[in-house]
Structure 1
Amino acid sequence: MISIQLLNTASGSCLYRYAPNTAIIPPLQEKNRLNPPARNEPAFFIIGAQKAGTTWLWNMLDQHPETSLPSPKELHYFGSAELYNRGDDWYFNHFKGLDPNKLTGEASTTYFYDRVPYWYNPSSQIEFNESLPTIPELISGKFPEARFIVVLRDPVRRAVSAYLHWMKKGSTSPLLGLRKVATEMPKMRILEFGLYAGYLNAWLKHIPSDRFRILIFEDQIRKNWDLTLTDIYSYLGLDPDFRPAQPGKRVHKSWGWTRIVFSYYTGGFSRSAIGSKTGRLLDRFDVLARHAINKEDIEFLRSVYLPEKDELEKITGCSLDCWDYGEGILRK
């Protein structure tokens, strides 16, 4: 048997080495798959982080011949008071029809963030459903043997990606600027979702470390995706030698500024449908929108996230020098 061990190397990166005959991370027991429960239940959860490569990881698992996964990818059942109130039957209906002899799971990036949002009041402040246990308590109480995977990405770059995501959806104007959106629109939780240390500690209070897998996006997905697939497949009790189609290809291509501004101001119509005059006007908006992320915004994000770097390194056991905390963004 070959298993994978994470190492904190002299270069500061978290890489892998093969560790023959050593059960560093014990795989899921075969009996969990060969003798499934009366109804299909998730054996693993990808819980986050948002905008950190979870869709890629989900697709790599979905292609494995020993898995049978639900659609859609993100059910958000345990991360939404509204959905949770629909009851377990609603949740388990998503797993009906899946092959009971194959491994199943789900991936909802809202699960990582500890508490269940209840509603957003008119002043845009987030309120939580304090009557419910935390998300780690909810899930671990219902699935005590489940395994968990979280992917962490440079929090500054994650925040920028989330900001662009909200503009792509047309939820905010690109002319407001990143800092204004992040600080005055907490509903979007742009800042909050990059403060990883507190959420990791909350989860690790309820989940033993051998069932809670932390991946660093820049090292273990972007640079070493092949070894990561071997590791994750083995961790979940799947054939570690399987390789899916196009594993190194990005699932979602980033939107350029023109497309983001165009989508916001046109509601998603095709450019050819609105005429050249409007198209030229949108090009002007493109120039303006490039100022929506500036040096001050990046410095602000760095001031928010850098103070917890040491704590994160202690929790993950990895040097996070692979994170530049946004220094390279403005050089592009």
Structure 2
Amino acid sequence: MTWSPTFIGIGAEKSATTWAWTMLNEHPSVCMSQPKELNYFNIDENFQRGASWYRKHFAIESARAGEISPLYMDDERVAGRIRDTYPDARILVMLRNPFGRAMSHLFHDASVLYGKVAELTKSDLQALASKDQKYVRRSCYAAALAPFLEAFPRDQIGIFLFEDVATDGLELAQNLYDFVGVDAAFVPEQYDQKVNESQDLRSVGLAKVMMSASRLARSFPPTRQAMNWVYRRTQLRETVIRWLLVDKGRPQIDFSEVFSPEATSLLDSDLQLLKELLPEVVPTSWLEGSPAERLPFGATPQPAAA
């Protein structure tokens, strides 16, 4: 029998994909990829390495295997590549209020560039947002999901919401288990943990040196292979990241203070299309009122306490 991953998570970025990976990784019947984001279907160099390269990132033969690479949603080729390679794989999607997602993404990148989340100004964010369309583009879910809805049966695509992490993380985790076909009664230990929100860096300089060194090392096949080997077998990267990040509050800055009215209109239009495509998925709160009324972005919902 030809091996196939049970499920493939495709995004969206900043929509609790790390939380979902953590929940699935805790389940004894699930084997998540190492490292977390394989980026197999969206990076040509990886895809050209073939299915055997992809397969070796999953350690347990008998378990339900899966991976989550949030950038898959941002590449229109990915749906066809997954369909042609693993047509039976389930497609796991995490979505978030698109305005909140864009702001969280922007704050995250700004924290890397400027270092202090709590001290970021509107000017800082406006300057960064004006340089890259990805913040809005990656919140256009209807456009991103259309190729997947065309390539796969609707019941093969599971769509879950970031906001449910805050309201009932345990139920969401167990819904994920049910979707991938494992015991949904399992209770993960970390379901109420906050994951991957914008944080300050202890050292901006050290973070930039580490990122530059990582990019340089990955440009040479021998060192890239060595790094992948270490990452698959240790928690070194995660340990360093945890040390670098210091949790701090975000300033109260709204989407409309940073992005143009055209960006708001674009997301509104995409939301209406998403509601037509997937009426059962889009919460009413995503559609009503101004962006500020739909979500207080400076006070991002956090997972509820146990």
Separation (CA, whole Å) in 1 of partners of 2:203 and 2:255: 22
Separation (CA, whole Å) in 2 of partners of 1:68 and 1:294: 38
Residue in 2 aligned with 1:211? 156
User: Which residue of 146, 158, 161 corresponds with 2:89?
Assistant: 146
Residue in 2 aligned with 1:320? 283
TM superposition score normalised by structure 2: 0.71
| 233 and 73 in structure 1: CA distance in 2 versus 1, 3 angstrom threshold | same
Residue in 2 aligned with 1:135? 78
User: Which residue of 296, 314, 324 corresponds with 2:257?
Assistant: 296
Residue in 2 aligned with 1:201? 146
Separation (CA, whole Å) in 2 of partners of 1:177 and 1:297: 9
| 263 and 295 in structure 1: CA distance in 2 versus 1, 3 angstrom threshold | farther
Displacement of 1:325: 3.1
Separation (CA, whole Å) in 2 of partners of 1:99 and 1:267: 36
Displacement of 1:312: 1.6
User: Which residue of 160, 167, 187 corresponds with 1:223?
Assistant: 167
Give the letter for the 1:80 counterpart. Answer: I
Separation (CA, whole Å) in 1 of partners of 2:53 and 2:145: 28
User: Which residue of 113, 118, 123 corresponds with 1:170?
Assistant: 113
String of CA shifts for 1:251-295, please: whole Å, max 9, x gaps.
23431xxx25x644x4449xxxxxxxxxxxxxxxx9xx9698675
Displacement of 1:69: 1.9
User: Which residue of 268, 271, 285 corresponds with 1:309?
Assistant: 271
User: Which residue of 290, 297, 301 corresponds with 1:329?
Assistant: 297
Residue in 1 aligned with 2:212? none
Could you tell me which runs of 5 or more consecutive residues in structure 2 were left unpaired when the two chains were aligned.
Answer: 209-247, 301-306
Residue in 2 aligned with 1:100? 61
User: Which residue of 130, 133, 139 corresponds with 1:183?
Assistant: 130
Matches within 5 A, 1:75-94: 75-94=38-57
Q: Which entry has the higher C-alpha Rg, 1 or 2?
A: 1
Residue in 1 aligned with 2:214? none
Give the letter for the 2:161 counterpart. Answer: I
Contact kept, 8 Å, 1:79 with 1:110, in 2: the verdict is: yes
Which 4+ runs in 1 deviate beyond 4 A?
171-176, 289-295
Could you tell me which runs of 5 or more consecutive residues in structure 1 were left unpaired when the two chains were aligned.
Answer: 1-36, 116-133, 270-285
Is 2:47 aligned against 1:55? no
Separation (CA, whole Å) in 2 of partners of 1:69 and 1:154: 26
Matches within 5 A, 1:22-61: 37=1, 39=3, 41-61=4-24
Give the letter for the 2:131 counterpart. Answer: E
Matches within 5 A, 1:213-252: 213-218=158-163, 220-252=164-196
Displacement of 1:49: 0.4
Separation (CA, whole Å) in 1 of partners of 2:207 and 2:144: 35
Give the letter for the 2:268 counterpart. Answer: L
Contact kept, 8 Å, 2:110 with 2:124, in 1: the verdict is: no
Separation (CA, whole Å) in 2 of partners of 1:229 and 1:75: 22
Q: Percent identity?
A: 28
Bigger fraction of residues in helix: 2
Give the letter for the 2:141 counterpart. Answer: Y
Aligned-partner SS, 1:322: helix
TM superposition score normalised by structure 1: 0.66
Aligned-partner SS, 2:113: coil
Aligned-partner SS, 2:166: helix
How many correspondences in the alignment? 249
Aligned-partner SS, 2:284: coil
Residue in 1 aligned with 2:27? 64
